[in-house]
Structure 1
Amino acid sequence: MSMHQAARAAQPELNGLDVEAATATIAALKADPALAQFRFRASNSWISGGENRSTIQGFYGAGREDDSRSEAWDFTNGEPPVLLGRNEGANPVEFLLHALAGCVTTTLVLHATARGVRIRSLSTELEGDIDLRGLLALDDETTPGYQEIRIALSVEADCSDEELEALIAEAQRRSPVCNTICRPTPVTITRKAA
């Protein structure tokens, strides 16, 4: 048994996660890979101008439709006045930064816990560059999305610098949102019948 495995076995909770439940989940997924297949959903309705609202509640995972959420979450997308909005909410590209930060953070914590590493503090700062000429079709050579996203992590953990660098690399490699952004992901847009 490694030092990290012994540390995990000795404590019921690490980094806010139930170690026994995490171990059981991993064992269940190894035993039945079909349980690892998840389908997340969101719906969105336009309000006015750049304002629209997304609703998220149900998803399919672990072999069944999830029923743990009694209420949906609503997220209002807006735009700042310089982009013709009224600051109704963060804009979608800002929500993308939020999703990326959350996923990298959660992935790092999950892998730290699996390795028996206690995280004492973790915060991220993100920024990304977009050239609006792509969005507004003013220059066909300009990509409409982010040209680059930078994430600066501040992490204090009970491990060596080498172990921490390995954890950060694993978080970047294993984060579903980071992985989705960093590789071409097919997106299909269809029109539903009215």
Structure 2
Amino acid sequence: MSDLIFQVQGESASATKFIAKARQFKLVIDEPKSLGGTDENANPVEYILAGLAGCLNVVSHLVANEMGFSIKRLQIGVSGNINPDKFIGNSTEERAGFKSIDIKLIPEADVSIGTLSEWLKIVQTRCPVKDNLTYKTPVKDSVEKQYVN
């Protein structure tokens, strides 16, 4: 199979709000009031965590099916901690991103814990979002000047 290309485009609605479009879907990204936003929607790092959970959900069901069992219910919890000092410009010491991310999967399935452990090992290696968060992915930045006539 050839590479799939995913893209998001959008425009700043304010200093803390971004409105993006992914395919036919509108995504509103905003900061909580404590960070100067209007709290209209999730913030960028919450979208990362939600994207990770959503990807784990898809891969979890796919792998379970390949292993011959079904998941009746799947709860996924994802949390991460960030020191905001670099983000707000108070420090250059710590990284701006997550220090760590914790994932908890609680599947309801008629299989042993041994099978679930094997299932989890496979899921961890096949989730594209987890792969992007775990390993360096080249990111190319550019800027263009918009000229006003």
The number of residue pairs the alignment matches comes to 146
Equivalent position to 1:42, from 8, 20, 24: 8
Tell me the SS of whatever aligns to 1:93.
helix
Normalization by structure 1: what TM-score? 0.72
1:161 paired to 2:113:
yes
Aligned to 1:86: 38
Q: TM-score, normalised by structure 2?
A: 0.93
Aligned equivalent of 1:53: 19
Which residue number in structure 1 is paired with residue 78 of structure 2? 126
Q: Which runs of 4+ in 1 moved over 6 A?
A: none
Structure 2 SS opposite 1:165? helix
Which residue identity is paired with 2:37? G
5+ residue gaps, structure 2, are none
Task: Report the residue type matching 1:169 in the other structure.
Answer: K
**SS of the residue aligned with 1:132?**
coil
Paired letter, 1:37: D
Matched, 1:192 2:135: no
**Counterpart-to-counterpart distance in 1, 2:78 and 2:127:** 15
More helix, by proportion: 1
Give, in angstroms, the shift of residue 140 of structure 1. 1.3
Cα offset, 1:193, TM superposition: 5.0
Q: CA deviation at 1:55?
A: 0.2
Query: For 1:134, what is the secondary structure of its paired residue?
Result: coil
- The answer on 1:73 being equivalent to 2:25 is yes
Counterpart of 1:28 in structure 2 is none
Distance 1:145 1:55 in 2: 24
AA paired with 1:47? A
Q: CA RMSD in A?
A: 1.1
Q: 2:63 aligns with which of 111, 135, 146?
A: 111
CA distance in 2, matches of 1:193, 1:138: 29
Q: 1:175 aligns with which of 127, 130, 135?
A: 127
| Structure 1: gaps spanning 5 or more residues | 1-34, 58-71
